[in-house]
């Protein structure tokens, strides 16, 4: 499918009005749009449609979009953050899990055993970090000397070079087809009407950095251990509220 074919297809999808989600949960909107467009789902870092990445978002939602995932530098950063800033994993034979949330961010993901005992030597770190305030794990984003740092009380060196972040973003979002949908129902039974779309061009890394400093762009750290003790990195994600995503681009054209 090329860009012109996409324009025809997305106009046809708009005429369908509300359609049921093809998957339960937050990722249902992206899966549904991909299916309707006839695009095979992928998790690779390149774009969906030639030079265009396609991103779908719910209108008027507080859920954040994941832009991309990238581990911090140096290569030892994640393992050291886990060891020095992580908290004990707690497991249960019944695989019951409990997620604890702070007021605005995910702060912990803990599993419990029947006796509620910590398992020695096992840690995890599920933590949302921004540049506005220090989170419950003592982490905060900071920009210094052309780097984005994950500052922490244990003095673990964890950072991103601006050049590396720019290359990572532009590899994925050279041009973005951004499709918005009205929605109703619950995440277990949700319906979407894809009725608005934009072509976003010209990524602005300067504005990207400003969004970080404004607290509108956050970093989700998701690391832990496999049962054999090996490090398990679920992907450190750069996340943003849907309404702020267009601000990362210099050119914004409405196409639907």
Q: What contacts 78, CB < 8 A, 6 or more positions away?
A: 71, 72, 158, 221, 223, 231, 233, 236
In the prediction, which pLDDT does 106 show? 39
Length of the chain: 256
Residues spanned by the domain of 66: 3-254
Number of domains in the chain: 1
In the prediction, which pLDDT does 256 show? 95
Reported pTM: 0.76
CATH code where residue 179 lies: 3.30.70.3570
pLDDT digits 0-9 by tens, 235-250: 899 999 989 999 989 8
The Cβ of residue 173 has, within 10 Å, a number of other Cβ atoms equal to 21
The Cβ of residue 213 has, within 10 Å, a number of other Cβ atoms equal to 14
Question: Tokens 């060891």 map to which residue?
Answer: 83
In the prediction, which pLDDT does 41 show? 67
In the prediction, which pLDDT does 4 show? 93
Under the banding of pLDDT at 50, 70 and 90, the label for residue 187 is confident
pLDDT digits 0-9 by tens, 103-134: 334 333 333 333 344 444 578 999 999 999 99
Helix axis angle, 3-15 to 28-37, nearest 10°: 110
| C-alpha span between 175 and 196 (Å, rounded) | 17
């Amino acid at each position: 499918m090329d860009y012109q074919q996409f324009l025809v297809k997305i106009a046809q999808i708009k005429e369908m009005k509300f359609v049921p989600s093809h998957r339960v949960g937050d990722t249902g909107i992206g899966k549904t749009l991909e299916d309707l467009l006839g695009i095979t789902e992928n998790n690779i870092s390149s774009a969906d449609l030639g030079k265009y990445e396609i991103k779908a978002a719910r209108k008027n939602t507080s859920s954040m979009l994941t832009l991309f995932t990238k581990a911090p530098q140096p290569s030892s950063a994640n393992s050291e953050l886990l060891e020095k800033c992580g908290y004990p994993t707690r497991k249960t034979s019944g695989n019951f899990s409990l997620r604890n949330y702070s007021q605005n961010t995910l702060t912990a993901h803990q599993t419990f055993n029947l006796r509620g005992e910590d398992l020695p030597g096992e840690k995890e770190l599920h933590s949302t970090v921004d540049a506005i305030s220090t989170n419950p794990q003592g982490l905060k984003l900071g920009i210094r000397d052309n780097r984005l740092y994950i500052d922490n009380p244990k003095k673990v060196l964890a950072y991103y070079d601006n050049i590396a972040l720019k290359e990572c973003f532009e590899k994925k979002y050279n041009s973005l087809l951004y499709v918005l949908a009205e929605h109703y129902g619950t995440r277990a039974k949700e319906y979407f009407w894809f009725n608005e779309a934009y072509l976003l061009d010209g990524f602005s890394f300067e504005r990207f950095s400003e969004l970080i400093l404004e607290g509108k762009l956050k970093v989700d750290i998701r690391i832990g251990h496999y049962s054999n003790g090996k490090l398990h990195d679920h992907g450190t994600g750069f996340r943003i509220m849907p309404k702020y995503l267009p601000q990362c681009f210099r050119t914004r054209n409405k196409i639907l």
